[in-house]
A = this chain, B = another copy of it.
């Protein structure tokens, strides 16, 4: 596709054998993947249109090993791409041919569970879902729930400040992390935050979350675990237009009720997901809301009844309250497997932007026009409660031109999000995908300020280079290579 990465440094590539030998000495033979087949598993991430074989892959098992590896790379000016599960949809974990991939996947231990203070201390290679699983029997869970939660690691969630369908009530990653242990590029190990909500000093913890692996590698984190409500139940509300659905979301929020989730799907998304999950989604609706509330049985009934009343004036085509656990599971299976389901019928390009809720109808209309103008189909899924939009642009992977057009349409859509007062990413991050679009949101001096902060943590710009900032703005070293 069309986005350039920094030219690999041939001198570094020629030193490959020596570098691999050194890495093995530091982290142990079994921690280093040097053969082509092994490395190929790391050549791309969720944005599969971009690929590059890394120089080598290291999978350390301790914070100290990570520190030793980074110190070595720092001394030898070797680029490093940190990696969790590689599920990034914006190329955040895309390697470079002259870079060392440092993966935390083998660091997945639970270090401490403190139910009294409602915190869990874990290694960041643990998957998002595994955190909830381990505290499940005590009735707790970890709130942020990206659709990829079965596979994605906490490390990746921290890098991208991930959200999820249920973040409306409980917030995104940054609202659920209290402390972390991070290794800086020079091998220094920092402890940030702690077990309490606020902390003195500047908010380095918040700064680290969402920094896309460009400041350091987070090896441990203390996260909030939340007591699960007695129960939860979703309802389906179908509408004859996205305007009506959008207005209904505003009315629900304005009522003071805070559902756990309000998910929006347009007709194409409904059709694909229903055919996959058989969840009973209404096929006659132009727009569908999945609204989930939680609490005691009585509270749930009260809330769902009130939401039904709130929806009435918007002439819903259907109002269907989940009949129980099995239907609830199907309803969420349909939504959470939306990407997979659409992936079965076509290659797709998953966009991620945020918009003010009131702009939803306009934005959906423009998205339709944009994709039509590129002869592409699109399905829209929207975390309506917090304005996070996920258009899925369908394209033909065997037709380079079609892929090209998908990328163009995507850029137009994200620019639109910025124009209506939203921003370029809700939870996937910038990575390589939105690197050049940063210019649409920030002035050069604003980007320069951000880059000066990057330089504090990583003076040589060795950590995850070629991402987040337009290449021509990045320091000489990178810009020249581009």
A376 at the interface (CB under 8 A from B): no
Question: Is there contact, CB below 8 Å, between A199 and B423?
Answer: yes
| 0/1 interface trace, chain A 297-316, chain B, CB 8 Å (1 if under) | 01100100010000000000
Please give me the residue from chain B that is nearest to A188 by CB atom.
B445
Question: Is there contact, CB below 8 Å, between A194 and B423?
Answer: yes
Within the assembled complex, what's the spacing in Å between the Cα atoms of A142 and B428? Answer: 29
- Selected contact of A206 from candidates B174, B192, B298, CB within 8 Å: B174
Within the assembled complex, what's the spacing in Å between the Cα atoms of A91 and B116? Answer: 34
A52 at the interface (CB under 8 A from B): no
Question: Is there contact, CB below 8 Å, between B449 and A196?
Answer: no
- Chain A, 271-315, CB within 8 A of any chain B CB: 295-296, 298-299, 302, 306
A377 at the interface (CB under 8 A from B): no
- CB-CB under 8 A from A388, the residues of chain B are 197-198
- Chain A, 198-225, CB within 8 A of any chain B CB: 198-204, 206-207, 209-211
Within the assembled complex, what's the spacing in Å between the Cα atoms of A202 and B388? Answer: 18
- CB-CB under 8 A from A362, the residues of chain B are none
Question: Is there contact, CB below 8 Å, between B116 and A197?
Answer: no
A387 at the interface (CB under 8 A from B): yes
- CB-CB under 8 A from A203, the residues of chain B are 161, 174, 203, 206-207, 209-211
A468 at the interface (CB under 8 A from B): yes
- Selected contact of A354 from candidates B118, B198, B209, B230, CB within 8 Å: B198
**By the criterion of a CB under 8 Å from any partner CB, how many residues of chain A are at the interface?**
78
Question: Is there contact, CB below 8 Å, between B197 and A442?
Answer: no
Copies held by the complex: 2
Question: Is there contact, CB below 8 Å, between B195 and A421?
Answer: yes
A346 at the interface (CB under 8 A from B): no
- CB-CB under 8 A from A356, the residues of chain B are 114, 116-117, 195-196
A17 at the interface (CB under 8 A from B): no
- CB-CB under 8 A from A200, the residues of chain B are 423-425, 429-430, 434, 438, 441
Binds B, one of A33-41, A233-241, A247-255: A247-255
Binds B, one of A74-82, A405-413, A451-459: A451-459
- CB-CB under 8 A from A445, the residues of chain B are 188, 190
A45 at the interface (CB under 8 A from B): no
A401 at the interface (CB under 8 A from B): no
Within the assembled complex, what's the spacing in Å between the Cα atoms of A201 and B431? Answer: 10
Question: Is there contact, CB below 8 Å, between A117 and B358?
Answer: yes
Beyond A190-B446, A203-B207, A357-B117, whether A198 also contacts B427 by CB under 8 A is: yes
- CB-CB under 8 A from A423, the residues of chain B are 194, 196, 198-200
Question: Is there contact, CB below 8 Å, between A118 and B194?
Answer: no
- CB-CB under 8 A from A430, the residues of chain B are 200-201
Please give me the residue from chain B that is nearest to A199 by CB atom.
B423
- CB-CB under 8 A from A254, the residues of chain B are 115, 118, 227
A422 at the interface (CB under 8 A from B): yes
A171 at the interface (CB under 8 A from B): yes
- CB-CB under 8 A from A358, the residues of chain B are 114, 116-117
A163 at the interface (CB under 8 A from B): yes
A480 at the interface (CB under 8 A from B): no
- CB-CB under 8 A from A210, the residues of chain B are 198, 202-203
Subset of 24 A-B contacts with CB under 8 Å: A117-B357, A172-B197, A188-B445, A191-B446, A195-B422, A196-B355, A196-B387, A196-B422, A198-B210, A199-B423, A200-B425, A201-B446, A201-B447, A202-B211, A203-B207, A203-B209, A203-B211, A204-B453, A206-B206, A227-B253, A227-B254, A227-B256, A449-B457, A453-B456
12 more CB-based (< 8 A) A-B contacts, given A190-B445, A198-B425, A203-B206: A114-B356, A116-B357, A118-B253, A190-B446, A190-B449, A197-B388, A199-B423, A201-B468, A207-B453, A227-B254, A453-B453, A456-B456
A residues with a Cβ closer than 8 A to B are 114-118, 161, 163, 171-172, 174-175, 188, 190-192, 194-204, 206-207, 209-211, 227-230, 250, 253-256, 295-296, 298-299, 302, 306, 354-358, 386-388, 421-427, 429-430, 434, 438, 441-442, 445-447, 449-450, 452-454, 456-457, 468
